[in-house]
Structure 1
Amino acid sequence: MGKPLFNLSYATRIRVIPFVIFAGLTMLQGKLGAGSEYWLYLVKTLIGACCVVYIWPRLQECKLTFTPTAVATGVLVFVIWVGLDSDWTRMPEVFNKLGLSKAYTPDTVWNPFAFFEGASWLGWAFTIVRVLGSTIVVPPLEEVFYRSFLYRFFIHAEIENVPLGRFHLGAFLFVSLVFGLAHREWVAGIICGMVYQWLVIRRGHLGEAVAAHAVTNFCLGLWVVWQGAWRFW
């Protein structure tokens, strides 16, 4: 029988619990009444930010590293993410084609300007929160969980004994697949997971991956607002 979550090692808890909290709040978005996807995003962003503030100084591997490679990689992943946009590369549309769910409609797309029609300041407020949350909060929480915990846990339960720079094909493919399937844009997500994992392996720390992830999400946020491509959110 597996250990209860709070009986796991400190190294595991500090990497898993913040992500579980954040992911749990994400799953509740839109489930607690009309507009809950917006208010809950604000709540989870604030809670996620507190988690980042707590874990960041306690994990030496998390030193942010904005190298030219990290920035260029982040931009490249953004281009791939947008460039691969099609019905078959978005999970909801795939499920719809298979008869497993209904198709997206304008009412189900995350668009604060449409929802708060007549209160544009709220539209801008939630848009800014979304861009900041996806740029500052999401990257460290996801990278710590997927690249620092899950990748190493796949190799050995005692993650402290597995160097971040170690390459393991099974872990590389598994984590990239899980990461991709956790996103609506699943094909781009799998490629994205591989690229970020490569950044971690090449230097043996998370800094470049977090930076690249932040650049990708920031560029995507600007693209969404500029082009009105709300389906990416």
Structure 2
Amino acid sequence: MVGLDTTAQAHRTSWLPYVAPMAFFLGLTALEGQFEGHYVWIYFAKVLLTAAALCYFRETWKDVRFEAKWIVPCVALGLALFAVWIWVDKNVAYPHFLGSRTGFNPYEKIADDGLRSAFLAVRFVGLVLLVPFMEEIFWRSFVVRYASKPDFWTLPIGTFTWTGFAIMVGLFAAAHPEWLPAAIFAAAMGLLVKYSRSIFACIVTHAVTNLALGIYVVTRSDWNYW
């Protein structure tokens, strides 16, 4: 009986390693808006603490298996999804009922050249490495399976119900001011993980999309996406 209770408890708490890094990330993101004058330092802390949480709860990393065959197609898909995100957001008149981002232009807000360079470097690390790894483990490994079946660990990666798929897409969209491009992105990623059975493929795609977005923001000075 004790063994059964221990197993049940382990299953009940198996969601924690998936949720905790995202909770750190979202909590510190909320602080950024409350203390805008300290945005740079809060962002540094957010990247550091979220990375620490990912390392502490690294048992979720088992869901990510390196598969070289997905790199080239996922680079292409990531670039396509970046183009779709920008095109839809710029050309489709959808209601922005989730508000808009407060753009942060480091060339205006950060006077010190060294600090500005450090911020841009850390911003790209967060955008291209940290966020794709964290979010794909959260959204495409955990949420879509948990929304399909509470005993999500019994479902292989890429296995979910269409109700779970819809919940994942809806929640991902609700987490972004650009909810329509975000919904398209989330749907594409859900289909990708269903087809590939690979969180690695999702991470590569997401990383390329974010890298392209970061380059676009910096080169076009379209800081509202940050």
TM-score (norm 2): 0.85
Q: Is the 8 A contact 2:75 2:205 kept in 1?
A: yes
Give the structure 2 partner of residue 112 of structure 1: 106
Shift of 1:220: 0.6
Cα distance in structure 1, aligned partners of 2:129 and 2:94: 26
Q: Does the 8 Å CA contact 1:90/1:184 hold for their aligned counterparts?
A: no
Q: Distance in 1 between matches of 2:223 and 2:123?
A: 12
Return the alpha-carbon distance in structure 2 between the equivalents of residues 167 and 156 of structure 1. Answer: 8
SS at match of 2:202: helix
- Contact 1:200 1:208 (8 Å CA) reproduced: yes
> 1:77 matched to which residue of 2?
81
Alignment of 1:199-214 (within 5 A): 199-214=192-207
CA distance in 2, matches of 1:120, 1:147: 38
Amino acid at match of 2:34: K
Q: Is the 8 A contact 2:148 2:160 kept in 1?
A: no
Letter in 2 for 1:44: K
2:224 aligned residue: 231
> Alignment length, in residue pairs?
215
Q: Which runs of 4+ in 1 moved over 6 A?
A: none
**C-alpha distance in 1 between matches for 2:197 and 2:182:** 22
Of all paired residues, the percent bearing the same amino acid is 29
Q: 1:89 to 1:230 in 2, by over 3 A?
A: farther
Unaligned runs of 5+ in 2: 1-8
Preserved CA contact (<8 Å) 1:56 1:62: no
CA shift at 1:119, angstroms?
2.0
State the one-letter code of the partner of 2:145: R
Per the alignment, residue 3 of structure 2 pairs with: none
Which residue of 2 is the match for residue 48 of structure 1?
50
Q: Residue by residue, what CA displacement relative to the aligned partner does 1:92-150 show, whole Å, maximum 9, x if unpaired?
A: xx456xxxxxx77xxx421111111x323322221221111111111111111111111
User: In structure 1, what is the equivalent of residue 5 of structure 2?
Assistant: none
Counterpart residue identity of residue 30, structure 1: G
Query: Which residue is equivalent to 1:143?
Result: 136
Give the equivalent residue in structure 2 for 1:17.
20
Q: Please, what TM-score do these two structures have when normalized by structure 1?
A: 0.83
